[in-house]
Amino acid sequence: DTGVSQNPRHKITKRGQNVTFRCDPISEHNRLYWYRQTLGQGPEFLTYFQNEAQLEKSRLLSDRFSAERPKGSFSTLEIQRTEQGDSAMYLCASILLRDRRTDTQYFGPGTRLTVL
Amino acid sequence: AQSVAQPEDQVNVAEGNPLTVKCTYSVSGNPYLFWYVQYPNRGLQFLLKYITGDNLVKGSYGFEAEFNKSQTSFHLKKPSALVSDSALYFCAVRDGNRDDKIIFGKGTRLHILP
């Protein structure tokens, strides 16, 4: 088990372009989270999935953002018509939720997005 | 709604001295509390958690944290700091009575002086 992986690690794009990030969770982890982290701040919750179902979306997730986890394994986060304010580190985390006591989130290395 | 406060943006400690990184929380249900560490250009690494039981929780790399219900605190401690402990530390909380997300503090930068 190699942990949570994210691709790409870095993405530079021009304002107005669309970008897509991928997260591969730890194998068999049933819950997957997306966070955004800006400089000097802690991770801010964006959305999470239980298997393939998207259970909650933050108000931070505008209609330009969409996330999917089609087969309950990997997940993608797409940002349409990127803005400079979207520049941040996008973190993915996964857990195997068997009961609430065991929910330690394991994080990927993140995708750093820079919008020019 | 739950929240976390880390009152110090930065903590400076001499190598070999004990360190404390402060965290207070607010949650309506039972608190599940976590500490994570982040090194430059890396994701977050789990250090320790409190769910229930002993108020003193021991974690990775010699770190420990003490849950104090009356003060709603969960301070991170280490008896003897190493230069390699220099990093960004995040406290996080989850409402244990709800199937909910984890909320993070804004982080404290720990700087260990050689």
What are the pLDDT digits (tens) for B28-46? 888 899 999 998 877 899 9
Nearest to B36 by CA among B19, B27, B51, B48: B48
CB atoms within 10 A of CB B111: 13
* Cis amide leading into B18 (omega within 30): no
Nearest to A70 by CA among A14, A18, A7, A23: A23
Q: What pLDDT shows up at residue B95?
A: 81
Rounded CA gap, B43 and B36, in Å? 10
Percent of chain B with pLDDT over 90: 74
The parts of chain B modelled with pLDDT lower than 70 are 99-100
Interchain CB contact of B109 with A (< 8 Å): no
A1 has a pLDDT exceeding 70: no
Number of residues assigned to chain A: 116
Quick check: B103 and A112 CB within 8 A? no
| A54-70 pLDDT tens trace | 988 888 888 999 999 99
Nearest beta carbon to residue A107 from set B43, B49, B94: B43
Interchain CB contact of B22 with A (< 8 Å): no
| A2-50 pLDDT tens trace | 789 999 999 999 999 999 999 999 988 889 999 999 988 899 999 999 9
> Which pLDDT band holds residue A101 (cuts at 50, 70, 90)?
low
> Which pLDDT band holds residue A90 (cuts at 50, 70, 90)?
very high
For Cα atoms B11, B15, B20, give the angle at the middle one, nearest 5 degrees: 40
DSSP state of B95: E
Quick check: A40 and B104 CB within 8 A? no
Q: What pLDDT shows up at residue A103?
A: 67
Interchain CB contact of A79 with B (< 8 Å): no
Give the amino acid at B41: N
Rounded CA gap, B33 and B42, in Å? 22
> Which pLDDT band holds residue A100 (cuts at 50, 70, 90)?
low
Chain A: nearest CA to B46, how far in angstroms? 7
Quick check: B43 and A108 CB within 8 A? yes
What does the pLDDT average to over A89-107? Answer: 80
